[in-house]
Structure 1
Amino acid sequence: MNYSQIVKLLGKENESLFTHTCKTISSDKLHVPNPDFVDQILLPSNRGVQTLRNLQQFFNTGRLAGTGYLSILPVDQGIEHSAGASFAANPEYFDPENIIKLAIEGGCNAVASTFGLLGAVARKYAHKIPFLVKINHNELLTYPNKFDQVLFGKVDDAWNMGAAAVGATVYFGSEESTRQITEIARAFDRAHELGMVTVLWCYLRNSAFKKDGKDYHVSADLTGQAIHLGVTIQADIVKQKLPENNGGYLALNADGITYGKFDKRMYTQLATDHPIDLCRYQVINSYMGRAGLINSGGASEGKKDLMEAVRTAVINKRAGGMGMISGRKAFQKPMKEGIELLHAIQDVYLEKKIAVA
């Protein structure tokens, strides 16, 4: 998909995504993804040689090899959203090997999934595409359903199957977040000892974050702080939902309630309501891009999937992000269509006319 096709796909309502100039935090202050990102940004850090090598393997794999950008296929929905609900649309993906084939033929830098799924095919594929093992999950079989990320295995098990990275989720804002932060901080420390890359799903979870008809689980200010906490426990890459609004702190501090801390300049100087500026606020919270921000692709919604995936990629790239991690929009389709969608996302990062705003 070339530049003209991308512009046509997104339509007139998205014209500003291609012309916008970010006047909050300028791009020259960011650590923007580039072919030498590991040498320029991570080499001076406390990361060990093996971690740097494994991250470089990410950057050297797939259609985006040599660009500094990432396209990752995540398939942990068999646990997170239940297997039947996730794979009914395309039952061939009950077989782990087809998921790996989708990631490879889709030109991805890595494939992210569970201990069981990746372990089932590790000897055949761990050397062909970087494995990112998700070490904790929220399962939906407990009745009534609960929302708590719990460990499903050990970092050493992921290392033994040849994985290059481990991933985890913390539900920031939840009652269980303190335990999750502590568990994952320890797990990431062990992963770095073993020379693995660490990736954190920096998600929010609290029913109070939905207020007055707005869902502040996707507000720039709250997601930005979740990212900042994720980078603080030494995530090399942070995954976050694309922001859809802002002002979470403002809304939650209404009615005489005190929650967190904020500065009004967060909303007047560090962000506007433009989608790229909202995402830029996420990037600056990842230590100005020292930890790569990858935005999630979200649920599959049928005909709009291609447009929404490409739109997210444009916003992420122009904001200074490092790429996308998109699963359901790809694997809940026939493999050919899933490959085409992944390639369309990657085409945004390959297109030089789409530059950081």
Structure 2
Amino acid sequence: MTDVHSLLGDEAKDLLTHTAQGIPKEDLHLPGPDFVDRVLTTTDRSPRVLRNLQSVFDHGRLAGTGYLSILPVDQGIEHSAASAFAPNPRYLDPENIAELALDGGCNAVASTLGALGAVSRRYAHRIPFIVKLNHNELLTHPNHYDQIMFGTVQQCFDLGAAGVGATVYFGSEHSDRQLREVTEAFARAHQLGMFTVLWCYLRNPAFKKDGIDYAVSADLTGQANHLGVTIEADIVKQKQAENNGGYRALAFGKTHDLVYDRLTTDHPIDLTRWQVANCYMGRTGLINSGGASAGHDDLAQAVRTAVINKRAGGTGLITGRKAFQRPTTEGIQLLHAVQDVYLDDSITIA
């Protein structure tokens, strides 16, 4: 097992022993082996959706725990193939993406329609596929930072996907259209028996003020999560909160003083718990993103993110560039280290 204490360094005691403030764990619907039976069978999801969700929870090293470790590789569109794959060009071949997810013990692999379609007959029955339907295409000049549909839900169903994913850039000038498109796509996915994953990201230059990026504030990301579960996302992907007070600093929207005075603190576990709370108190699982690769400290940063997510009541991590932008053996080691956090019974819910 991974030496989590060593990787956390000086933060180990604080992160591993913190007692949550604000939202008590008893109020949350927490991950567990029976999560589908205990929480999701009360919903309007069809037996086929429940079956596909259960298949994801039953796959990989985290099978039977109620936690998820997902490999996402859609950055060839989002950031350009050169930006994503130059550090390790072998992942230009989608077969190697599927193999990394398998060897890395992941619950599922999330990628583009083209990538998963290219290898679906060989791998769709071996690891659950999540097809990312829309993307921010950055070849347009000047960039317009929009999410465009690159495929249909029917195509995802036909290639054997267990679920579909999409992004809404909440706060952007295009968010209303994206929300309508994704709502329609998610409804169709549920009709066909696939589950849904929403990348609930914030995107607006106005969210940055005085050198602070409030696109990762607990209050604003929490509201994005709440909008995501409203359109029946089965899993919400969100950047882990790094600060709070976005509504106050930007002087817009509506909030409540209790969000800052009682329901959260500045501790990262409490900030992330507010994100979980906005996912119907955990009825929809929150997975945090692993973030970009920063180099030598990627392993420690990924483990730190996982510890915060787990102790906050989250459902797991979706880790891409930190894994595939390095030699394969190191990428597998990093994925296993993240999974070890969720397998470690001594790391408890705060």
- 1:97 is aligned to 2:95: yes
What do the CA deviations read for 1:333-354 (whole angstroms, capped 9, x no partner)? 0110000000000000000000
What is aligned with 1:355?
Answer: 348
- SS of equivalent residue, structure 1 residue 303: coil
Cross-structure match for 2:297: 304
Deviation at 1:15, TM superposition (A): 2.0
2:175 counterpart (174, 177, 187) = 177
- Residues 121-173 of structure 1 deviation map (CA, whole Å, 9 limit, x = unaligned): 00000000000000000011000111000101100100000000000000000
TM, length-normalised to structure 1: 0.97
1:345 aligned partner, one-letter code? V
Match of 1:52 among 43, 50, 53: 50
- Measure how far apart 1:266 and its partner are: 0.5
**Structure 2 equivalent of residue 269 of structure 1:** 262
Provide structure 1 residue ranges, at least 5 long, that are not aligned to the other structure.
254-258
User: Hey, what's the Cα distance between the residues in 2 that align with 1:105 and 1:34?
Assistant: 24
Pairwise mapping of residues 232-271 of structure 1 onto structure 2 (< 5 A)? 232-253=230-251, 259-271=252-264
Which letter maps to 2:322?
A: K
- Note the alpha carbon deviations across 1:267-298, whole angstroms, 9 max, x for none: 01110000000000000000000000000000
* Residue from 261, 276, 283 that aligns with 1:283: 276
The whole-number CA distance in structure 2 between the counterparts of 1:91 and 1:157 is 27
Amino acid at match of 1:178: D
- 1:314 paired with 2:307, answer yes
| Counterpart residue number, 2:221 | 223
**Partners of 1:22 and 1:9 in 2: CA distance:** 22
Shift in Å, 1:69: 0.1
Residues 18-37 of structure 1 mapped to structure 2, 5 A cutoff: 18-37=16-35
Distance 1:302 1:225 in 2: 32
Report the AA paired with residue 233 of structure 1: I
Aligned counterparts of 1:226 and 1:166: Cα–Cα separation in 2: 19
Quick one: which amino acid aligns to residue 270 of structure 1?
Answer: L
Which residue of 118, 130, 153 maps to 2:128?
130
**Alignment gaps of 5+ in structure 2:** none
State the 1:12 CA deviation: 1.4
Alpha-carbon deviation of 1:197?
Answer: 0.6
Deviation at 1:43, TM superposition (A): 0.2
Corresponding residue for residue 150 of structure 1: 148
- Which residue of 2 is the match for residue 9 of structure 1? 7
> Residues 21 and 265 of structure 2 are in contact (CA less than 8 Å); yes or no, is this contact kept in structure 1?
no
TM-score (norm 2): 0.99
Deviation at 1:14, TM superposition (A): 3.7
Give RMSD over aligned pairs: 0.6
Partner of 1:345: 338
What is the rounded CA distance, in whole Å, between the counterparts of 2:227 and 2:139 in structure 1? 29
- Structure 2 CA distance, aligned partners of 1:14 and 1:351? 15
Q: 1:332 aligns with which of 318, 325, 348?
A: 325
The 2-side partners of 1:188 and 1:93 are apart by: 28
Q: Offset at 1:9? A: 1.2
| C-alpha distance in structure 2 between counterparts of 1:67 and 1:228, whole Å | 25
What is the SS of the residue equivalent to 2:282? coil
More displaced, 15-24 or 56-65? 15-24
Q: Distance in 1 between matches of 2:200 and 2:241?
A: 13
**What SS does the corresponding residue of 1:273 show, helix, strand or coil?**
coil
Partner Cα separation in structure 2 for residue 217 and residue 24 of structure 1: 22
After superposition, what is the alpha-carbon deviation per residue over 1:187-235, rounded to whole angstroms, capped at 9, x for unaligned? 0000000010100000000000000110001000000000000000000
How many residues align structurally? 350
CA offset at residue 23 of structure 1? 2.3
Alpha-carbon contact 2:74-2:112 (below 8 Å) kept: yes
1:13 positional shift: 2.8
Match of 2:85 among 84, 87, 97: 87
SS, match of residue 71 in structure 2: strand
Q: 2:11 and 2:99 mapped to 1: Cα distance?
A: 35
Provide, for residues 33-72 of structure 1, a one-character-per-residue CA deviation record: whole Å limited to 9, x for no partner.
Answer: 0000000000010000000000000000000000000000
